[in-house]
Amino acid sequence: MTVFIVSTTGVEPARAYAHYPLKVARLPIPPRRQLHILRNRVYIIDMQMTSLGAYQGLTVVAGLASLIFLSPVQIFITFVVLGQGHFFLGYLYRLKAGKIDWKQLGFYLILLFGVFSFPLFLSYNTILAIVALLFSVHFFFDEARIMKGSNDISIPLILPPILLFFTSVLNTEIGVNLIPISIILSLAIFFSVFVIKGLKEIVTKDILYANCFTLFFIGTYIFNLNFSGEAIFGAIIIMHIFTWYMFYQKKTWSDKKRNSQYLIDVFLVNVLVIILFALFVNNFFVAPLSLLFAPVFYYCWAILHIITSSGALWKSTKTYFGH
């Protein structure tokens, strides 16, 4: 049997500064705090927003496919049905998150009656123009911030696609051609930002992505591509809806229970809207359902949705120009 004698005072390796006490090593080690939960949440949210860029490419494919393979009427039906589901889910999840109180509910009701009075004194084309302007701001801000993974985006540099989208709809649907003016203004915006803040602000992935749409609208105008304004409008609405579905899918992915509930909500809401639309086109309950699916009233719902979901835009705008 071999016997090893072990020092009872501990074994310490030779050190260059033997006289220096290991005070740090002697400090008590506190218990591990559960900060990893918060860290994981932050990481997951950041990963979802930044990594969605690749998935945003898929939404572009979906939008282009609808523009190429569907007729304007089919595009319109698709974005009306999917859009109503998108609106309802937005209000549902805001309610679940406790973001709608009685005061806000009162504001929503007043806004509802105000917006739905538009058809009484505004023409269909005027309402379409209002929706095109509001939606272009809503869409390009959302696309840029989801691509970047932050609300801190360059507000002036999302103006060119907004201008080109809006004037493209005016040109094709109303016959008012302001596209050359919007191109000049867009060039002036890029030049001003370059002079004031340099090239670095222009070549970020969110700005480059948003302004691919600027090039698309300029190309359709220069080469006289025969797309109706509502077809382009509808294709971009379809892109927007799919972007948000994928974003929330990734946002809830780490919580299986929450993710399952989200998928169930999306499925049930869209099935319900499809059933209601089928009743509408087959002349059942036409009068009440026309408030959901008739074009002019659908655009009223779109205006209501955009206004009530623009909090992040106002905060980002104030932050950007506050600097």
**Which of helix, strand or coil describes residue 36?**
helix
| Residue closest to 247 by CA, chosen among 56, 113, 9, 99 | 56
* 322, part of any domain: no
User: Does residue 153 lie in a domain region?
Assistant: yes
**The predicted structure's pLDDT at residue 150:** 81
Please state, in angstroms and rounded to a whole number, the distance separating the CA atoms of residues 289 and 276.
7
Nearest to 149 by CA among 220, 53, 40: 53
> Which of 49-58, 236-245, 249-258, 283-292 has the lowest average pLDDT?
49-58
8 in a structural domain: no
Q: Cα-flanking dihedrals φ and ψ of residue 87, to 5°?
A: -60, -50
Q: For residue 51, what pLDDT band results from cuts at 50, 70 and 90?
A: very low
Please give the Cα distance from 121 to 124 (Å, whole number).
10
Reply yes or no on whether the pLDDT at 13 is more than 60: no
> Given pLDDT bands bounded at 50, 70 and 90, which one contains residue 211?
very high
Give the pLDDT confidence score for residue 309 in this predicted structure: 85
Q: Residue 184: its pLDDT value, please?
A: 96
177 domain residue, yes or no: yes
Q: Is residue 125 part of a domain?
A: yes
In a domain, 273, yes or no: yes
Instruction: Give a yes or no: residue 27 inside a domain.
Output: no
Q: Smallest Cα–Cα separation from 169: which of 82, 86, 110, 227? A: 227
**Residue-level pLDDT at 37:** 38
11 band by pLDDT with thresholds 50, 70 and 90: low
Backbone angles phi, psi at 284, to 5 degrees: -105, 130
Number of domains in the chain: 1
Query: Is pLDDT of 50 > 50?
Result: no
- The reply to whether 18 falls in a domain is no
Range of the domain at 287: 36-316
pLDDT of residue 2: 56
SS3 of 298, please? helix
